[in-house]
Amino acid sequence: MLATDRRRAVLLHLHSTPDAPVPPVPGPVLRRLLASTSSSDPVDLYVALAVEPREEDVVSFLGVCADVVPDLSRLVSCSLVGPQEVGSLVVDNVLVDGSVSAETALMAAAWNSRQARLLRDAERRPLRDRPLKMMVLAQHMDSWGALEPLVRAAYSDPRVECSVVALEGPFSRTATEAHDTVVKAGWAPVAAASVMGCLDDFDVIVVCDPYDEYRPEGLRLPDFLAVGVRVVLSPYAESIGAEVSMQYDMPTHNLAWRVYVANDVQAALYGEHCSSGNDHVRALGAIKGDWLRAALEQAGDAGSAIQRKLGSDRVVLWNPHFRSGADGWSTFSLYAEAMLALVDRDPTLALVARPHPMLLPGLEAAGGTAAQLARWFREQCALRPRVLLDEDRDYRPAFAASSVLVSDLSSLIPEYLHLGRPVGYLRHPVQRGTTADATWRDLVDVIDDQEQLSRFVLATAPRGPVSVATGRTVGARVIDDVVDGVLDETRTWN
């Protein structure tokens, strides 16, 4: 319910306890509230306590308020509410002090975002009379595959007006990498500075990760929520093997209007681990699968060039991870010599070694024996004409050239499976195994030792064709869902 024909109502959450039901009122919170009021815009204040309030609590609360801000004339009424009543209130804003629980702060942000969205929906020109305005934040090459199918579908849909904003960040290898990636894909990116002051012009903003720290101020989750724009998350990877809170329960996971995942298993994991549940999650297929299949058709020449360079059409792609130590799962030190020895053993076999971008630089920075291992590996690769050390940011040529993938636990495993080619999963003998979202476990060969590695690699056949998906693309289905969802929610106002 939207408050439009009554005084503005605000709910204030304080860090109260049953032993101290009326805590000191934080001055900055109360001053911020009063600064937003005027004689023509008074406020009804509701204060949520941990227990049902008593009459003496009201007197106590007004006393501590007066100590902070003497002029309370703009508060038309002030009511203390307990746990039973707070859920039935109709308010316009929820404020929290800095010491409340993360759950309460999350609830406040979600409430305020919904209220702002309802207000802007009521005020904006109906969607049926204009295209939906979508902003897509393109940050770096590694995540572009989670966005490109959506951009492609949006640009071809007359119901959508799409703008792609190129954001350079700490993972950009050049000063213009994101910009150049978008241009190479065929679109003209928009400068970030040109949209920061007009977020309210957009109906939907699409991001590919939950990490606000990699986006500039003005283009972060609180900025989007403040104006009521709908946030869509298209996760940059299908399975990253991280802690569940990082994958399912960060603020963006909770406060996004929609999250699009590859399958029902991932949707169920949101239901299990996301504080907001999974009502906002849609499992419409792997967006990156669209990108990979289309991209490999374009990258075929680059893949063939790698095969010619290596002198073989039996190419193994090897993807060792960087994370080692007590909580790591990299098998690089276990299998580096064995992988090179297999190429030496079979004169018709070639290897594209594509370590995680942080593996070799991390070893080199560590110094000592770690740096010696990295230096040895670089030297050994350079000595072998049928071995290519691939440190290019774009992994599609390596995908196109290879017949099989041998990999540590990595998001590249489910991506490679979209090609319909074999995958060997290098399971670390001691460290962590796959996480619950690894729906690919039954689709790969598990490799536990050098003997199994040898059998898998030496059985490599020339690459097969890329499996071709039929019917409507995942990107198009997502755009359909976005447009239909906005239309459904704004029908009341239209």
Going by their DSSP bridges, the two strands 93-96 and 204-207 should be labelled as unpaired
What CATH number does the domain containing 199 carry? 3.40.50.2000
**Judgement on whether residues 230 and 362 belong to the same structural domain of the protein:** no
Sign of the CA dihedral with 96 first, then 101, 105, and 111 last: negative
User: Is residue 101 pLDDT above 60, yes or no?
Assistant: no
**Judgement on whether residues 303 and 225 belong to the same structural domain of the protein:** no
**Judgement on whether residues 263 and 135 belong to the same structural domain of the protein:** yes
- For the chain, the average pLDDT equals 82
Going by their DSSP bridges, the two strands 204-207 and 132-138 should be labelled as parallel
User: How many domains does the structure of the chain reveal?
Assistant: 3
Query: Considering 54, 85, 100, which residue would you say is the last residue of a domain?
Result: 100
Of 407 and 414, more confident: 407
**Judgement on whether residues 389 and 409 belong to the same structural domain of the protein:** yes
Q: Is residue 291 part of a domain?
A: no
**Judgement on whether residues 228 and 206 belong to the same structural domain of the protein:** yes
User: Is residue 74 pLDDT above 60, yes or no?
Assistant: no
**Judgement on whether residues 53 and 139 belong to the same structural domain of the protein:** no
Q: Is residue 27 part of a domain?
A: yes
Cβ–Cβ < 8 Å for 487, 118: no
Q: What is the largest CA-CA distance in the chain?
A: 88
**Judgement on whether residues 217 and 146 belong to the same structural domain of the protein:** yes
**Judgement on whether residues 57 and 166 belong to the same structural domain of the protein:** no
Place of tokens 């860090």: 15
- What mean pLDDT comes out for the span 436-440? 71
Q: Is residue 115 part of a domain?
A: no
- What mean pLDDT comes out for the span 36-46? 67
Q: Is residue 119 part of a domain?
A: no
CA–CA gap between residue 371 and residue 54 (Å, rounded): 67
**Judgement on whether residues 230 and 372 belong to the same structural domain of the protein:** no
User: What letter does residue 471 receive in the DSSP assignment?
Assistant: S
Structure token pair of residue 207:
């991001």
Which strand (E) or helix (H) includes residue 423?
Answer: strand 423-426
Residue 13: φ, ψ to 5°: -95, 125
Q: Is residue 106 part of a domain?
A: no
Helix (H, G, I), strand (E, B) or coil at 397: helix
**Judgement on whether residues 184 and 80 belong to the same structural domain of the protein:** no
**Judgement on whether residues 437 and 483 belong to the same structural domain of the protein:** no
Q: Is residue 152 part of a domain?
A: yes
Structure token pair of residue 356:
């995680």
CB burial string 428-440: b at 16+ within 10 A, e below: beebeebeebbbb
User: Is residue 5 pLDDT above 50, yes or no?
Assistant: no
The pTM (predicted TM-score) of the whole model is: 0.73
**Judgement on whether residues 96 and 185 belong to the same structural domain of the protein:** no
Q: Residue 106's pLDDT band (boundaries 50, 70, 90)?
A: low
User: Is residue 105 pLDDT above 80, yes or no?
Assistant: no
C-beta neighbour count of 98 within 10 angstroms? 9
Bridge partners, residue 164, by sequence: 136
Distance of CA 444 to the CA centre of its chain: 25
Structure token pair of residue 408:
């540590």
Cβ–Cβ < 8 Å for 299, 400: yes
Domain coverage including residue 228: 128-285+473-490
Q: Is residue 385 part of a domain?
A: yes
Order the strands of the 423-426 sheet from edge to edge. Answer: 387-389, 350-353, 315-319, 404-407, 423-426, 445-447
User: Is residue 35 pLDDT above 70, yes or no?
Assistant: no
User: What letter does residue 317 receive in the DSSP assignment?
Assistant: E
Q: Is residue 109 part of a domain?
A: no
Q: Which of the residue ranges 15-29, 293-307, 373-387, 421-435 has the most confident prediction, judged by mean pLDDT?
A: 373-387
